[in-house]
């Protein structure tokens, strides 16, 4: 897994980040979702390097083997703005003043925040399987509350930690090593069995319902949009179209230069259909 990639820990100020990186071409930052680590990209990252890109795959603050910040009452330590700041400093430390960013699931919210907060650094934005948090909450109906109940359960104090900690493997009944890849699966299980990582991942959701939503709503009031070209991808066997119809319609107020299309996959597209995802990323970034 990640043959030929450097595997380092880099101090970005508030935390140290675990990061894998390789390549010599145009840089792209790949941001994982919940409850994965940077290892979720292990089938995509080498393909992008082979196509001539420099690829950076960190574990986000709080996730995997990256550092955990002290918890604040407003959960700002796990806000997408704080995580985006980490990743900007990471890319700068690796020598990349400008770069493309692609985020999946919770990582998509961080990718959006990077593009909004640091438009001079982010040259291209890709979001996979997600719409802005504020847009999801504004459309929250009985179906969303039923299917995405975990957003609201995870926001409660203490009880989610206790529920997950009682049997992490039962709670996160994910695919096995044959689908995920043995190394990726080991890192995933290491993460969900670490109480500090579980709490930090829950803090991601707690920030989402509060401070992250506030940041996005402030962007809309200010008329702030994504200035770089943006690509939205969604998995055909996920629920994006069931929830939102055309996901691009949700995204159009956020990005002037927008395109997108579905990919034949379940939710974890980087693991399930890496060829199609690599082709979509490379085509957009070239």
Which residues are identified as catalytic? 105, 267
Q: Whole-angstrom Cα distance, residue 77 to residue 211?
A: 10
* 3-class DSSP state of 96: coil
| H-run or E-run covering 271 | helix 269-272
| H-run or E-run covering 21 | strand 16-22
| Closest by CA position to 114, among listed 100, 104, 128 | 100
Q: Whole-angstrom Cα distance, residue 126 to residue 128?
A: 7
Distance from the first to the final alpha carbon of the chain: 25
Q: At what angle do helices 182-192 and 195-207 cross, to 10 degrees?
A: 80
For residue 175, what is the DSSP state?
-
> Cα torsion for 46, 47, 53, 59, to the nearest 10°?
-50
Q: Whole-angstrom Cα distance, residue 85 to residue 214?
A: 17
Per-residue tokens: 173: 């009944």
| 232, β-bridge pairs | 127, 260
| Closest by CA position to 188, among listed 39, 47, 41 | 39
């Amino acid at each position: 897994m990640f043959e030929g990639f450097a595997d380092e820990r880099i101090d970005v100020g508030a935390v140290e980040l675990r990061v894998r990186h390789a390549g010599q071409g145009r840089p792209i930052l790949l941001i994982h979702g919940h409850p994965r680590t940077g290892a979720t990209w292990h089938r995509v990252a080498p393909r992008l390097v082979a196509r001539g890109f420099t690829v950076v795959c960190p574990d986000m603050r709080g996730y995997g083997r990256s550092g955990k910040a002290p918890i604040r009452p407003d959960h700002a330590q796990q806000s997408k703005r704080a995580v985006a700041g980490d990743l900007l400093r990471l890319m700068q430390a690796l020598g990349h003043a400008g770069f493309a960013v692609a985020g999946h699931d919770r990582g998509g919210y961080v990718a959006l925040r990077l593009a909004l907060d640091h438009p001079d650094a982010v040259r291209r934005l890709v979001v996979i399987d997600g719409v802005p948090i504020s847009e999801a909450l504004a459309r929250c109906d009985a179906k969303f509350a039923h299917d995405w109940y975990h957003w609201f359960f995870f926001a409660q104090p203490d009880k989610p930690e206790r529920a997950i900690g009682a049997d992490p493997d039962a709670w996160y009944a994910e695919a096995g090593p044959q689908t995920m890849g043995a190394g990726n699966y080991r890192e995933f299980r290491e993460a969900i069995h670490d109480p500090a990582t579980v709490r930090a991942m829950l803090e991601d959701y707690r920030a989402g319902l509060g401070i992250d939503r506030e940041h996005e709503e402030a962007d809309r009031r200010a008329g702030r949009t994504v200035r770089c070209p943006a690509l939205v991808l969604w998995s055909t066997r996920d629920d994006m179209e069931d929830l939102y119809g055309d996901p691009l319609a949700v995204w159009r107020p956020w990005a002037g230069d927008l395109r997108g299309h579905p990919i034949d996959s379940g939710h974890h597209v980087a693991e399930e259909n890496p060829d199609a995802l690599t082709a979509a990323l490379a085509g957009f970034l070239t």
